[in-house]
Chains A and B, each alone.
Chain A
Amino acid sequence: MQNPGDALKKALLAALITFGLSFPIVALRTDTNLSNQLVLTERWSLAFTLSGIAFVAFLLLGLVRPAGDERATPKTARSAAPPHPFTRYLPRIGLAFLIAYPFLAVAISGSAGAVKWIDNFGIQILIYILLGWGLNIVVGLAGLLDLGYVAFYAVGAYSSALLAKNFDLSFWLTLPLAGILAAFWGLLVGLPVLRLRGDYLAIVTLAFAEIVRLVLINWVPVTGGYAGISGIPRPTIFGYSFMPGPDNIATALGLPASPLYRLFFLFYLALVLALAAYWVTTRLRTLPIGRAWEALREDEIACRSLGINTVTTKLSALAAGAFFGGIAGAFFSTRQGFISPESFTFMESAVIVAIVVLGGLGSMVGVAIAAIVMIGGTELLRELDVLKAVFGGEFDPAQYRMLLFGLAMVVLMVLRPKGLVATREPTVRLKPKVARGAPAAE
């Protein structure tokens, strides 16, 4: 318990500060009137309400929290305790759930209602998981801060779209090509800048992503500029397509027409791609190259003293990460059938970095959880019509989507600076952890 007087004082101060922050940005709203002039609308009550909320919140917090606790950020000591048994089975439970997911969606919300759950939630989240796992190699394992990951996503999306449209290549060919091209660009960006220290690498990758976006916008004859590329061929299986038409797979099999077949196909394709990324990454982690990535993250100078060529090691991490970014891009373009520079802004890079760091650097399961929480959570906001009832008809929850996303990033980071899954699973053990556990040396 804190001294109530102190708590009151703090709450008053918080209210005062909140008012200072709200004035004038909240209290006075700028609007354009009919004669195209800016005029102010006064909303003092809103500013007072916010201050009041701050007052009450701080008062309650001050009364509940023990005194002197204010700066007691939990020291996240490296916990020697073994991870909760649940986390060990989490991948398997998660996989079972993912495989069943489209059927569950149809079973629960019917074939019409399931579209949204499979497409907006399932496929969307899987794309971000794939991107997160790709970037996890670069940021999580190798410790290289790449703020321009979206560039490789864009390279993958545009190259697969252009190859498919201009050279009539099948999706099954453009998919690996997109990955390879993105990896090639990863090498190209990495080569000159890898000598730079960490934060510079961040800014150069960010600048590279902006350059890619600006080129996509301005190189109109090839990329279509702001209008983007539409009519990207959809993937087919043995010549059958999932789009309405004579070669539609459902028609051929004599099934009733439904958009669900396409979504099921895309969902499982995304799942397979994500699982491939998972398999390759977990495999690489136990190989010398993967161990060198992690060693690089831990101490670059020590790496050099052990004969590890840090330049090629970093390049391999960048290229491997970029490869999965390119694959995700190719999938994205064929899923949408349309791409434009709008989808490849810095915000995407920020979201992917956030997923990797919030998940817990290097933790594959953590990254997947973070993708589900952050992407699923913000998608869910679109759905909350309940809020409309609470805040009145004008309230549009979607408007608050990114605001809450940003806030969640800050809050999660402050509460769990090491990410959701902070424990690191060793790549090799001298003694098996439990009698019938994973093999000691993979």
Chain B
Amino acid sequence: MRWISDPLLTVDHLSMRFGGLVAINDLSFSVGRGDITALIGPNGAGKTTVFNCITGFYKPTSGRLALTHGTGAPAGAIDALTRSDLRRTRGANPELFLLERMPDHEISAQARVARTFQNIRLFPGMTVLENLIVAQHKTLMRASGLSLAGLFGLASYRAAERKAFELARAWLNVVGLADRADDPAGDLPYGAQRRLEIARAMCTNPVLLCLDEPAAGLNNRESAELTRLLRGIRSQTGVSILLIEHDMSVVMDISDHVVVIEYGVKIADGTANDVKNDPKVIAAYLGVDDEEVAAAGGGVP
């Protein structure tokens, strides 16, 4: 129950409206530090919209998205930050961030939330390695002195670049793409592109990794590999993972915590086992997709 005892991200009363359409309505949940949390729900439930709010691509209509970079924040610290008009506590330990106040690139660069996309968004014309180097933009940009030090090849920059290069190489080995490092990312097969996108997100050195349907389009063997990969990433780096997934076997296999939403409202929240037997969840899925219910309900047709 780390999502209660030690939450990394707390979503409070989040609502998102597009014109008259209410995509998310007063949604609250937490993501535990070090947990793998799954956000599931039928098509159109608003899962990707939640992701887009967390990563700053959408400005929520209302609600709070609070992220802490460590344990032991004094009680009421988040509320204090909310009352101020600041986006983050600077220098405090642990640091707090209010994501709904930050632009997308700062959420990635400062709050250290990384994400992947439902329809893979690599830089297809650039090589696999370059994709991973671009992800370290912030670090390299600082090292290059806004490019001037880099322009004249200063040693400090060269050292930073070597480090970036090593990090990229390490991640290439993790996702098993080292031998394709110099090929254009767009030339990779689908499953490899998914893995590369995860590696690229990890190269930003995140505390929270948001994966939007990482198993979509993968076959059973690849899904199993993905599960192993995600577990490995978590145990090696301690990153917390929030994922949207339709493949219930993946969800039930790796999730410590499952949040179920339907029509933008939370209908269940708990461990995989709790959720699997929740009648509301079964009802929500029954109307949609028999296969998924079968998976969620443990084989009951």
Contact = CB atoms under 8 A, between A and B. Distances in A.
Interface of A: 78, 80, 280, 283-284, 287-289, 291-292, 294-295, 297-299, 301-310, 424, 426-431, 433, 441
17 contacts: A78-B186, A287-B147, A287-B151, A288-B150, A302-B123, A304-B57, A304-B108, A306-B108, A308-B134, A424-B125, A426-B127, A426-B130, A427-B130, A429-B127, A429-B181, A430-B181, A441-B162
Given A428-B129, A428-B130, A308 B105 contact: yes
B187 A295 contact: no
A430 B137 contact: no
Nearest to B151: A283
Contacts of B186: 78
Contacts of A429: 127, 129, 181-182
Contacts of A303: 105, 134
B87 interface: no
B126 A80 contact: no
Nearest to A441: B165
Interface in B148-168: 150-151, 161-162, 165
Given A289-B147, A294-B123, A309 B105 contact: yes
A284 B56 CA distance: 29
Interface residues of B, number: 48
Given A305-B117, A430-B169, 7 more contacts: A287-B140, A288-B144, A292-B137, A304-B56, A310-B105, A426-B126, A430-B129
A62 B215 CA distance: 50
Contact of A288 (B124, B147, B183): B147
B165 A305 contact: no
Contacts of B144: 287-289
Contacts of A428: 127, 129-130, 133, 165
Interface string B241-279: 000000000000000000000000000000000000000
Contacts of B130: 291, 294, 426-428
B121 A307 contact: no
Given A288-B137, A306-B134, A430-B178, A78 B114 contact: no
Contact of B183 (A80, A283, A294, A304): A80
Given A302-B121, A426-B127, A307 B105 contact: yes
Contacts of B108: 304-307
A298 B123 CA distance: 5
Interface string B131-149: 0011111101100101100
B193 interface: no
A426 B135 contact: no
Nearest to B206: A307
A307 B105 CA distance: 4
Given A287-B144, A288-B144, A295-B123, A304 B105 contact: yes
A98 to B, nearest CB: 24
A280 B148 CA distance: 11
Contacts of B136: 288
B133 A280 contact: no
B200 interface: yes
Nearest to A309: B105
A295 B182 contact: no
Contact of B126 (A298, A307, A308): A298
A302 to B, nearest CB: 4
B23 interface: no
A210 to B, nearest CB: 32
Contacts of A426: 126-127, 129-130, 182
A253 B187 CA distance: 61
A306 B57 contact: no
Nearest to A296: B123
Interface in B102-126: 104-106, 108-109, 114-115, 117, 121-126
